[in-house]
Protein backbone atom coordinates (compact mmCIF):
# COMPACT_ATOMS: atom_id res chain seq x y z
CA UNK A 1 0.00 0.00 0.00
CA UNK A 2 1.59 3.31 -1.04
CA UNK A 3 1.99 5.84 1.71
CA UNK A 4 -0.55 8.29 0.40
CA UNK A 5 -3.81 9.65 1.74
CA UNK A 6 -6.98 7.89 0.72
CA UNK A 7 -9.21 9.97 -1.39
CA UNK A 8 -12.94 10.16 -1.13
CA UNK A 9 -14.77 12.14 -3.74
CA UNK A 10 -18.46 12.76 -4.05
CA UNK A 11 -20.12 11.57 -7.23
CA UNK A 12 -23.58 12.39 -8.44
CA UNK A 13 -25.89 9.59 -7.32
CA UNK A 14 -25.89 6.29 -9.17
CA UNK A 15 -29.61 5.64 -9.48
CA UNK A 16 -31.31 2.31 -9.87
CA UNK A 17 -29.47 1.00 -12.86
CA UNK A 18 -32.16 -1.43 -13.90
CA UNK A 19 -34.75 1.26 -14.45
CA UNK A 20 -32.38 3.44 -16.40
CA UNK A 21 -31.37 0.50 -18.52
CA UNK A 22 -34.92 -0.49 -19.31
CA UNK A 23 -36.00 3.03 -20.18
CA UNK A 24 -33.15 3.66 -22.54
CA UNK A 25 -32.65 0.23 -23.98
CA UNK A 26 -36.27 -0.02 -24.98
CA UNK A 27 -35.52 2.66 -27.55
CA UNK A 28 -33.11 0.41 -29.42
CA UNK A 29 -34.03 -2.21 -31.93
CA UNK A 30 -30.74 -4.04 -31.41
CA UNK A 31 -30.00 -4.54 -27.76
CA UNK A 32 -26.33 -4.02 -27.19
CA UNK A 33 -25.10 -4.14 -23.67
CA UNK A 34 -24.15 -0.73 -22.55
CA UNK A 35 -21.54 0.80 -20.31
CA UNK A 36 -23.72 3.09 -18.28
CA UNK A 37 -22.67 6.43 -16.85
CA UNK A 38 -25.96 7.23 -15.27
CA UNK A 39 -25.03 9.81 -12.65
CA UNK A 40 -24.31 13.10 -14.39
CA UNK A 41 -27.51 13.03 -16.39
CA UNK A 42 -29.57 12.72 -13.27
CA UNK A 43 -28.81 16.37 -12.42
CA UNK A 44 -28.89 15.90 -8.66
CA UNK A 45 -29.27 18.99 -6.54
CA UNK A 46 -26.43 20.17 -4.34
CA UNK A 47 -27.91 18.98 -1.03
CA UNK A 48 -28.36 15.48 -2.40
CA UNK A 49 -24.68 15.45 -3.33
CA UNK A 50 -23.74 16.31 0.18
CA UNK A 51 -26.23 14.25 2.17
CA UNK A 52 -27.29 11.18 0.26
CA UNK A 53 -25.42 8.07 -0.64
CA UNK A 54 -23.22 7.73 2.39
CA UNK A 55 -25.57 5.07 3.76
CA UNK A 56 -25.08 2.75 0.80
CA UNK A 57 -21.85 0.84 0.65
CA UNK A 58 -20.41 -0.99 -2.32
CA UNK A 59 -23.77 -1.41 -3.91
CA UNK A 60 -26.90 -2.89 -2.44
CA UNK A 61 -27.25 -6.64 -2.50
CA UNK A 62 -30.91 -6.66 -1.51
CA UNK A 63 -32.33 -6.30 -4.99
CA UNK A 64 -29.62 -7.95 -7.01
CA UNK A 65 -30.39 -11.37 -8.40
CA UNK A 66 -27.47 -12.07 -10.63
CA UNK A 67 -28.02 -15.39 -12.40
CA UNK A 68 -26.21 -17.70 -14.74
CA UNK A 69 -28.27 -18.41 -17.88
CA UNK A 70 -26.23 -21.40 -19.15
CA UNK A 71 -24.47 -19.65 -22.04
CA UNK A 72 -20.72 -19.70 -22.69
CA UNK A 73 -18.19 -17.44 -20.96
CA UNK A 74 -14.60 -16.73 -22.00
CA UNK A 75 -12.74 -19.60 -20.35
CA UNK A 76 -9.97 -19.98 -22.95
CA UNK A 77 -6.98 -17.59 -23.00
CA UNK A 78 -8.40 -14.27 -24.11
CA UNK A 79 -6.83 -12.37 -26.99
CA UNK A 80 -7.80 -8.71 -27.35
CA UNK A 81 -7.75 -7.31 -30.88
CA UNK A 82 -7.89 -3.52 -30.94
CA UNK A 83 -9.23 -1.49 -33.84
CA UNK A 84 -7.99 2.11 -33.53
CA UNK A 85 -10.61 4.11 -35.38
CA UNK A 86 -9.63 7.66 -36.32
CA UNK A 87 -6.71 9.68 -35.04
CA UNK A 88 -4.76 8.18 -32.18
CA UNK A 89 -1.48 9.35 -30.66
CA UNK A 90 1.23 6.87 -29.75
CA UNK A 91 1.09 7.98 -26.11
CA UNK A 92 -2.66 7.31 -25.98
CA UNK A 93 -2.25 3.83 -27.42
CA UNK A 94 0.47 3.09 -24.86
CA UNK A 95 -1.83 3.84 -21.91
CA UNK A 96 -4.56 1.50 -23.19
CA UNK A 97 -2.17 -1.28 -24.22
CA UNK A 98 -0.49 -1.18 -20.84
CA UNK A 99 -3.83 -1.44 -19.08
CA UNK A 100 -4.69 -4.58 -21.05
CA UNK A 101 -1.20 -6.04 -20.56
CA UNK A 102 -1.55 -5.45 -16.82
CA UNK A 103 -4.58 -7.74 -16.48
CA UNK A 104 -2.51 -10.94 -16.50
CA UNK A 105 0.67 -9.49 -15.06
CA UNK A 106 2.25 -11.78 -12.46
CA UNK A 107 0.96 -10.90 -9.00
CA UNK A 108 3.17 -8.79 -6.84
CA UNK A 109 4.39 -10.35 -3.60
CA UNK A 110 3.56 -7.19 -1.67
CA UNK A 111 -0.03 -6.60 -0.75
CA UNK A 112 -0.81 -4.11 -3.41
CA UNK A 113 -3.86 -3.03 -5.37
CA UNK A 114 -3.24 -4.18 -8.94
CA UNK A 115 -5.09 -4.55 -12.23
CA UNK A 116 -4.53 -8.32 -12.07
CA UNK A 117 -6.10 -8.28 -8.60
CA UNK A 118 -9.11 -6.49 -10.08
CA UNK A 119 -9.50 -9.22 -12.74
CA UNK A 120 -9.55 -11.91 -10.01
CA UNK A 121 -13.16 -10.98 -9.29
CA UNK A 122 -14.02 -11.60 -12.96
CA UNK A 123 -12.25 -14.99 -12.75
CA UNK A 124 -14.74 -16.07 -10.07
CA UNK A 125 -17.39 -16.61 -12.75
CA UNK A 126 -17.72 -20.02 -14.37
CA UNK A 127 -19.64 -21.79 -17.14
CA UNK A 128 -21.83 -24.92 -16.77
CA UNK A 129 -18.77 -27.18 -16.69
CA UNK A 130 -17.30 -25.24 -13.79
CA UNK A 131 -14.51 -23.68 -15.88
CA UNK A 132 -13.55 -20.22 -14.67
CA UNK A 133 -13.05 -17.12 -16.82
CA UNK A 134 -9.50 -17.17 -18.08
CA UNK A 135 -6.79 -15.49 -16.04
CA UNK A 136 -4.85 -14.98 -19.25
CA UNK A 137 -5.68 -11.83 -21.25
CA UNK A 138 -3.25 -10.78 -23.96
CA UNK A 139 -3.07 -8.21 -26.72
CA UNK A 140 -3.37 -9.72 -30.17
CA UNK A 141 -3.15 -8.10 -33.57
CA UNK A 142 -4.20 -4.49 -33.92
CA UNK A 143 -5.68 -2.63 -36.85
CA UNK A 144 -5.55 1.09 -37.59
CA UNK A 145 -8.53 2.66 -39.30
CA UNK A 146 -6.85 6.07 -39.62
CA UNK A 147 -8.99 7.42 -42.42
CA UNK A 148 -12.39 6.90 -40.79
CA UNK A 149 -13.51 4.18 -43.23
CA UNK A 150 -17.15 4.57 -42.18
CA UNK A 151 -17.16 8.29 -41.43
CA UNK A 152 -17.06 10.31 -38.24
CA UNK A 153 -20.54 9.36 -37.08
CA UNK A 154 -21.13 5.66 -36.51
CA UNK A 155 -24.33 3.76 -35.80
CA UNK A 156 -24.67 0.47 -33.96
CA UNK A 157 -24.85 -1.28 -37.31
CA UNK A 158 -21.99 0.59 -38.98
CA UNK A 159 -19.81 -0.40 -36.03
CA UNK A 160 -20.21 -4.00 -37.21
CA UNK A 161 -19.16 -2.91 -40.70
CA UNK A 162 -16.00 -1.35 -39.25
CA UNK A 163 -15.22 -4.71 -37.62
CA UNK A 164 -15.95 -6.48 -40.89
CA UNK A 165 -13.50 -4.22 -42.68
CA UNK A 166 -10.85 -5.05 -40.08
CA UNK A 167 -11.27 -8.84 -40.29
CA UNK A 168 -11.51 -8.88 -44.10
CA UNK A 169 -8.80 -6.30 -44.91
CA UNK A 170 -6.53 -7.19 -47.85
CA UNK A 171 -3.44 -6.40 -45.82
CA UNK A 172 -2.99 -7.81 -42.33
CA UNK A 173 -6.63 -8.58 -41.50
CA UNK A 174 -7.40 -9.22 -37.84
CA UNK A 175 -7.58 -12.96 -37.11
CA UNK A 176 -11.01 -14.56 -36.79
CA UNK A 177 -11.27 -15.92 -33.28
CA UNK A 178 -14.89 -16.40 -32.16
CA UNK A 179 -14.03 -18.57 -29.13
CA UNK A 180 -11.46 -16.51 -27.32
CA UNK A 181 -11.03 -13.32 -29.30
CA UNK A 182 -12.33 -10.07 -27.89
CA UNK A 183 -12.61 -7.27 -30.44
CA UNK A 184 -12.23 -3.79 -29.05
CA UNK A 185 -13.23 -0.89 -31.29
CA UNK A 186 -11.88 2.38 -29.91
CA UNK A 187 -12.98 5.63 -31.53
CA UNK A 188 -10.98 8.88 -31.31
CA UNK A 189 -12.35 12.06 -29.74
CA UNK A 190 -13.68 13.44 -33.03
CA UNK A 191 -15.97 10.46 -33.69
CA UNK A 192 -19.61 10.34 -32.62
CA UNK A 193 -21.28 6.98 -32.05
CA UNK A 194 -25.05 6.54 -31.79
CA UNK A 195 -26.22 7.46 -28.27
CA UNK A 196 -22.67 8.39 -27.17
CA UNK A 197 -22.86 10.69 -24.13
CA UNK A 198 -26.57 10.06 -23.52
CA UNK A 199 -25.64 7.79 -20.63
CA UNK A 200 -23.64 5.62 -23.02
CA UNK A 201 -19.84 5.62 -22.98
CA UNK A 202 -19.33 2.15 -24.40
CA UNK A 203 -21.20 -1.07 -25.05
CA UNK A 204 -20.56 -4.68 -25.91
CA UNK A 205 -22.36 -7.18 -28.07
CA UNK A 206 -21.50 -9.75 -30.73
CA UNK A 207 -21.31 -9.36 -34.49
CA UNK A 208 -23.98 -10.79 -36.76
CA UNK A 209 -22.91 -13.44 -39.28
CA UNK A 210 -25.09 -11.66 -41.85
CA UNK A 211 -22.92 -8.55 -41.59
CA UNK A 212 -19.48 -9.70 -40.52
CA UNK A 213 -19.58 -13.39 -41.50
CA UNK A 214 -18.94 -14.56 -37.92
CA UNK A 215 -20.26 -14.19 -34.40
CA UNK A 216 -17.49 -12.26 -32.68
CA UNK A 217 -17.81 -10.74 -29.20
CA UNK A 218 -16.90 -7.07 -29.42
CA UNK A 219 -16.97 -3.87 -27.45
CA UNK A 220 -16.95 -0.26 -28.48
CA UNK A 221 -15.52 2.48 -26.25
CA UNK A 222 -15.21 6.11 -27.33
CA UNK A 223 -12.80 8.87 -26.31
CA UNK A 224 -15.16 11.43 -24.77
CA UNK A 225 -12.56 14.22 -24.35
CA UNK A 226 -14.26 16.61 -26.79
CA UNK A 227 -17.87 15.45 -26.64
CA UNK A 228 -18.72 14.74 -23.00
CA UNK A 229 -15.80 14.23 -20.60
CA UNK A 230 -18.04 15.19 -17.65
CA UNK A 231 -20.19 12.16 -18.48
CA UNK A 232 -17.72 9.54 -19.68
CA UNK A 233 -14.42 10.63 -18.08
CA UNK A 234 -15.89 11.40 -14.67
CA UNK A 235 -14.29 12.05 -12.11
CA UNK A 236 -11.41 13.42 -14.22
CA UNK A 237 -13.89 15.91 -15.69
CA UNK A 238 -17.15 17.06 -14.12
CA UNK A 239 -20.44 18.19 -15.68
CA UNK A 240 -20.87 21.98 -15.89
CA UNK A 241 -24.17 21.95 -14.03
CA UNK A 242 -22.60 20.82 -10.77
CA UNK A 243 -21.00 23.98 -9.40
CA UNK A 244 -18.13 23.60 -6.98
CA UNK A 245 -17.36 19.98 -7.83
CA UNK A 246 -13.71 19.83 -8.86
CA UNK A 247 -12.35 17.38 -11.40
CA UNK A 248 -9.67 15.02 -10.09
CA UNK A 249 -6.24 14.80 -11.67
CA UNK A 250 -6.00 11.75 -13.92
CA UNK A 251 -3.11 9.30 -13.46
CA UNK A 252 -1.70 9.35 -17.02
CA UNK A 253 -2.21 12.98 -17.98
CA UNK A 254 -4.92 12.31 -20.56
CA UNK A 255 -8.44 12.90 -19.25
CA UNK A 256 -10.20 11.25 -22.21
CA UNK A 257 -8.01 8.14 -22.28
CA UNK A 258 -7.77 7.77 -18.50
CA UNK A 259 -11.57 7.89 -18.49
CA UNK A 260 -11.74 5.30 -21.27
CA UNK A 261 -9.67 2.83 -19.24
CA UNK A 262 -12.46 2.34 -16.70
CA UNK A 263 -15.05 1.91 -19.47
CA UNK A 264 -12.78 -0.59 -21.24
CA UNK A 265 -12.45 -2.49 -17.96
CA UNK A 266 -16.25 -2.39 -17.55
CA UNK A 267 -16.86 -3.78 -21.05
CA UNK A 268 -14.12 -6.44 -20.86
CA UNK A 269 -15.45 -7.76 -17.53
CA UNK A 270 -18.93 -8.02 -19.03
CA UNK A 271 -17.76 -9.52 -22.33
CA UNK A 272 -15.84 -12.21 -20.45
CA UNK A 273 -18.83 -13.15 -18.29
CA UNK A 274 -21.61 -12.60 -20.85
CA UNK A 275 -20.10 -12.67 -24.35
CA UNK A 276 -23.25 -13.79 -26.16
CA UNK A 277 -25.59 -12.11 -23.67
CA UNK A 278 -26.89 -15.47 -22.42
CA UNK A 279 -24.60 -16.14 -19.45
CA UNK A 280 -24.19 -13.94 -16.33
CA UNK A 281 -26.67 -11.12 -15.83
CA UNK A 282 -29.37 -9.86 -13.50
CA UNK A 283 -32.90 -8.94 -14.41
CA UNK A 284 -35.72 -11.08 -15.72
CA UNK A 285 -35.64 -9.93 -19.32
CA UNK A 286 -32.67 -11.04 -21.44
CA UNK A 287 -33.25 -8.05 -23.70
CA UNK A 288 -32.30 -5.78 -20.80
CA UNK A 289 -29.49 -7.56 -19.01
CA UNK A 290 -27.80 -5.86 -16.07
CA UNK A 291 -24.29 -7.24 -15.93
CA UNK A 292 -21.45 -7.53 -13.43
CA UNK A 293 -19.99 -4.07 -14.15
CA UNK A 294 -23.36 -2.29 -14.52
CA UNK A 295 -24.05 -3.22 -10.92
CA UNK A 296 -20.96 -1.32 -9.75
CA UNK A 297 -21.06 1.68 -12.04
CA UNK A 298 -19.33 4.65 -10.42
CA UNK A 299 -17.84 2.65 -7.54
CA UNK A 300 -14.05 2.80 -7.25
CA UNK A 301 -13.40 2.03 -3.62
CA UNK A 302 -14.66 1.22 -0.15
CA UNK A 303 -17.66 3.35 0.77
CA UNK A 304 -18.65 3.79 -2.86
CA UNK A 305 -22.28 3.78 -3.91
CA UNK A 306 -25.02 6.34 -3.93
CA UNK A 307 -23.25 9.69 -4.27
CA UNK A 308 -19.77 8.39 -3.58
CA UNK A 309 -17.00 6.99 -5.72
CA UNK A 310 -15.55 5.42 -2.58
CA UNK A 311 -12.02 5.69 -1.28
CA UNK A 312 -9.39 5.99 -3.93
CA UNK A 313 -5.63 6.60 -3.75
CA UNK A 314 -3.54 9.66 -4.55
CA UNK A 315 -0.02 9.50 -5.91
CA UNK A 316 2.77 11.96 -5.11
CA UNK A 317 1.68 14.21 -7.99
CA UNK A 318 -1.86 14.40 -6.69
CA UNK A 319 -3.32 12.14 -9.37
CA UNK A 320 -6.15 9.82 -8.33
CA UNK A 321 -6.09 6.10 -9.03
CA UNK A 322 -7.14 2.83 -7.41
CA UNK A 323 -4.88 0.19 -8.93
CA UNK A 324 -1.36 -0.32 -10.26
CA UNK A 325 -0.59 -1.66 -13.69
CA UNK A 326 2.79 -2.90 -14.84
CA UNK A 327 4.23 0.60 -15.17
CA UNK A 328 1.28 2.93 -14.69
CA UNK A 329 -1.58 3.68 -12.38
CA UNK A 330 -5.22 3.41 -13.38
CA UNK A 331 -8.64 4.24 -12.01
CA UNK A 332 -11.03 1.38 -12.82
CA UNK A 333 -14.53 0.78 -11.48
CA UNK A 334 -15.24 -2.27 -9.35
CA UNK A 335 -17.21 -5.31 -10.47
CA UNK A 336 -19.84 -7.49 -8.81
CA UNK A 337 -18.63 -10.44 -6.77
CA UNK A 338 -21.39 -13.06 -6.90
CA UNK A 339 -19.95 -15.04 -4.01
CA UNK A 340 -19.93 -12.09 -1.59
CA UNK A 341 -22.96 -10.45 -3.21
CA UNK A 342 -21.44 -6.99 -3.44
CA UNK A 343 -19.03 -4.96 -5.54
CA UNK A 344 -15.37 -5.61 -4.88
CA UNK A 345 -12.02 -4.34 -6.05
CA UNK A 346 -8.34 -4.79 -5.27
CA UNK A 347 -8.18 -1.59 -3.20
CA UNK A 348 -10.96 -2.67 -0.83
CA UNK A 349 -9.94 -1.81 2.72
CA UNK A 350 -11.27 -5.05 4.21
CA UNK A 351 -9.54 -7.53 1.88
Ligand X SMILES: *[C@@H]1O[C@H](CO)[C@@H](O)[C@H](O)[C@H]1NC(C)=O
205: which strand partners? 218
The answer, yes or no, to whether the previous bond of 11 is cis (omega within 30 of 0) is no
Stretch that binds ligand X, among 33-41, 119-127, 201-209, 288-296 (CB under 6 A): 119-127
- In angstroms, give the least distance from the CB of 149 to ligand X: 32
Binding flags for ligand X, 74-113, as an x/- string (CB under 6 A): ---x------------------------------------
- In angstroms, give the least distance from the CB of 125 to ligand X: 6
Q: How far apart are CA 158 and CA 348, in angstroms?
A: 40
Q: What angle do CA 66, 68, 69 make, to 5 degrees?
A: 120
3 state DSSP class of 217: strand
The only residue of 124, 211, 247, 326 in contact with ligand X, by rule CB under 6 A: 124
36: which strand partners? 200
Query: Cα torsion for 277, 283, 285, 289, to the nearest 10°?
Result: -30
- In angstroms, give the least distance from the CB of 78 to ligand X: 9
The only residue of 54, 61, 101, 123 in contact with ligand X, by rule CB under 6 A: 123
- Asked whether 295 and 301 are in contact (CB, 8 A), the reply is no
Residue closer to ligand X by CB (options 251, 345) is: 345
- In angstroms, give the least distance from the CB of 30 to ligand X: 31
Nearest residue to 92 (alpha-carbon basis) of 188, 193, 15, 157: 188
Binding flags for ligand X, 15-54, as an x/- string (CB under 6 A): ------------------------------x-xx------
Residues of this chain that interact with ligand X (CB under 6 A) are 45, 47-48, 77, 123-124, 126, 132, 136, 339
Amino acid sequence: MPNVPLHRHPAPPAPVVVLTAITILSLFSLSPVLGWRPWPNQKPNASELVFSGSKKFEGSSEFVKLKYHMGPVLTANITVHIIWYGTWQRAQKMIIREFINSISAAGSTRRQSTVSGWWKTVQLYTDQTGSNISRSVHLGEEKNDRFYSHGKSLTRLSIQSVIKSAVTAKTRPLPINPKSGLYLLLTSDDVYVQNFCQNVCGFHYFTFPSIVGYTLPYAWVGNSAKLCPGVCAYPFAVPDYIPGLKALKSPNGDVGVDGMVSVIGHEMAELATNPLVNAWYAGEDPVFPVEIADLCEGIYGTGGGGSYTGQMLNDADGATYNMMGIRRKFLVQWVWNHMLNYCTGPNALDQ
